[in-house]
Amino acid sequence: MNAIRISWLFFGYPCLLLAYIGQAAYISTDPTGKAWSNPFFNTVPPGMFWPGMIMAILAAIVASQATITATFQLLSQVMNMSYFPNIKLIHTSRKFHGQIYIPMANWLMMIGTVIITAVYNNTTKLGQAYGTCVVLVTFITTCMVTITALIVWRIHLLFVLAGFLVFASIDGLFLSSALTKFPDGAWFTLMLGGVLATILLIWRHGKENQWKVERSDRIPVSDLVTSGEDGKLYFRVGVGDSKELPKMTGAGIFFDKEGDLSPAVYTHFIRKFQAGHDVTVFFHLRPIPQPSAPIEDQYSISRTSIANCYQIIVRHGYNEHIVTKDLAGLIYNKLRQFITTTTRTQTTNNGEGTDSSSNSSSLNEAETLERAFRSQVLYIVGKEQLKITPPTGSRFSGLLRRLSLNAFIWIRDLTRTKVQEMNVPVDHLAEVGFIKEM
């Protein structure tokens, strides 16, 4: 950060200032009155056209690379804040977290660049569109800094208002001047900004509605299934009423999206099939912003309130691949290690000779685990379909809500991870579908 500040203050800023001041001086003293049309190349001394052209091309390459990198960073941040669907993101460095590559964004920018070059067939219109965009960004930046100063920095309102009026007046003058170029090319950048802002708002609005309807499925496991004294599982049908769950041979690994309470896919599996596995595993992946997770903090395993049911939370970095063809073997080894470790800990705490029942229970638990994983392993994922409920408000607001949610569902279906793309054996993979109304 200090290197960026020093290079900008003592190299970039003086060079930029000299370039703009020199062009302004040349325009003001030009007797023809046409220097403003292309001030950069008009100020190039005789015989220096081609060196100036090469310098301009190199500057364009640097600027385009900065634009591409900034786009990747912005997309990464809006995806983390749930304002944009999760698309494929590749980390290109093990050392620097910020070095990322988003293939879809790269292809879209390439296609957009070709289209814009074809539509704007001269640099004058392209410059007008670019200039309006830059001035609008500076005005938005002034507004955002003002909000930050009030909410985050907690500067007194009078000081913030004074600074805002000064900079907003200058930015407003430039913006009002730039908006006169709207019919001559500036309309495109404003339209593009409006489309992108609409997509962000639609996605966030849809996600908030989705989260609201998904809360009903996030219940404690004990409110859904209980273990009897005879070792059997019972499904809670209603208040004070339960029904025995038949056992399915093998181990069921449920992919858990949230990592707390009961996974939605498990809730719907129990309610639809009314059967339980010999061993049940709630498997949750929790990404962290670093290349790899520390070994001692990578796996978190705990028992749930029902017998032979475990929750595994795996913290993983962006260079680690946990879901592989041998995921079942990894889970089995971790669970076996967990049972052995907890048994040894109980033995140490209780003292020698006082833990025969505990050892017997742990031995039975380990045998059940081994028998289940040897018999059959089933990976179970959920496929949630969203349905829009009829509107309850005014006709206009209901229509607007329906259009927004339909657009959200369409984008979600286009960008969601397909079950066939999961790197697990497909003959051991099952998908449980369920519909939620929002």
At residue 352, does pLDDT exceed 60?
Answer: no
At residue 307, does pLDDT exceed 70?
Answer: yes
> Looking at residue 288, what is its pLDDT?
87
The least confident of 50-59, 132-141, 348-357 is: 348-357
Burial code (b: 16+ CB inside 10 Å, e: under 16) for 182-202 equals eeebbebbeeeeeeeeebeeb
> Looking at residue 356, what is its pLDDT?
58
How confident is residue 358, by pLDDT bands cut at 50, 70 and 90?
low
**For residue 367, what are its two tokens?**
């045998």
At residue 349, does pLDDT exceed 70?
Answer: no
Alpha-carbon torsion angle 379, 283, 423, 333, nearest 10: -90
How confident is residue 359, by pLDDT bands cut at 50, 70 and 90?
low
Residue 215 lies in a domain: no
> Looking at residue 240, what is its pLDDT?
66
Q: What's the gap between Cα 388 and its chain centre?
A: 24
**Cα-Cα-Cα-Cα dihedral sign, residues 386, 392, 393, 399:** positive
CA distance 166 to 55: 36
The least confident of 69-83, 215-229, 253-267 is: 215-229
How confident is residue 350, by pLDDT bands cut at 50, 70 and 90?
low
Rounded average pLDDT over 373-396: 87
Residue 367 lies in a domain: yes
**For residue 88, what are its two tokens?**
């494929």
* pLDDT, tens digit (0-9, with 9 covering 90-100), for 402-430: 999 999 999 998 887 766 667 888 889 99
Residue matched to tokens 């220097």: 35
CA distance 177 to 341: 72
Residue 137 lies in a domain: no
Residue 136, number of CB atoms within 10 A of its CB: 19
As for how many domains the chain has, the answer is 1
Residue 248 lies in a domain: yes
Rounded average pLDDT over 275-283: 92
CA distance 141 to 159: 17
Rounded average pLDDT over 251-255: 94
Owning domain of residue 315: 228-437
Residue 81 lies in a domain: no
Rounded average pLDDT over 280-294: 89
> Looking at residue 313, what is its pLDDT?
94
Of residues 334 and 235, more confidence is placed in 334
> Looking at residue 362, what is its pLDDT?
73
**Cα-Cα-Cα-Cα dihedral sign, residues 328, 334, 337, 343:** negative
CA distance 26 to 36: 9
| Residue 95 phi, psi (nearest 5) | -100, -40
DSSP state, 385? E
Residue 255 lies in a domain: yes
Mean pLDDT of the chain: 87
Classified as helix, coil or strand, 303 is strand
Residue 7 lies in a domain: no
Rounded average pLDDT over 178-189: 84
Query: What is the C-alpha R_g of the chain?
Result: 31
Strands 100-101 vs 90-91: parallel, antiparallel or unpaired: antiparallel
How confident is residue 19, by pLDDT bands cut at 50, 70 and 90?
confident
- Do residues 372 and 250 touch, judged by C-beta distance below 8 A? yes
Residue 109 lies in a domain: no
CA distance 368 to 278: 7
> Looking at residue 376, what is its pLDDT?
92
Alpha-carbon torsion angle 42, 43, 48, 49, nearest 10: -20
List alpha helices for 351-394, DSSP H.
356-375
How confident is residue 105, by pLDDT bands cut at 50, 70 and 90?
very high
Rounded average pLDDT over 77-103: 87
**For residue 362, what are its two tokens?**
């742990």
DSSP state, 343? H
pTM of the complete model: 0.81
> Looking at residue 239, what is its pLDDT?
65
Q: Which residues contact 120 (CB under 8 A, 6 or more apart)?
A: 126, 129, 185, 188
CA distance 321 to 292: 10
Classified as helix, coil or strand, 243 is strand
- Do residues 304 and 404 touch, judged by C-beta distance below 8 A? no
Classified as helix, coil or strand, 350 is helix
Where is mean pLDDT largest: 230-239, 287-296, 405-414, 419-428? 405-414
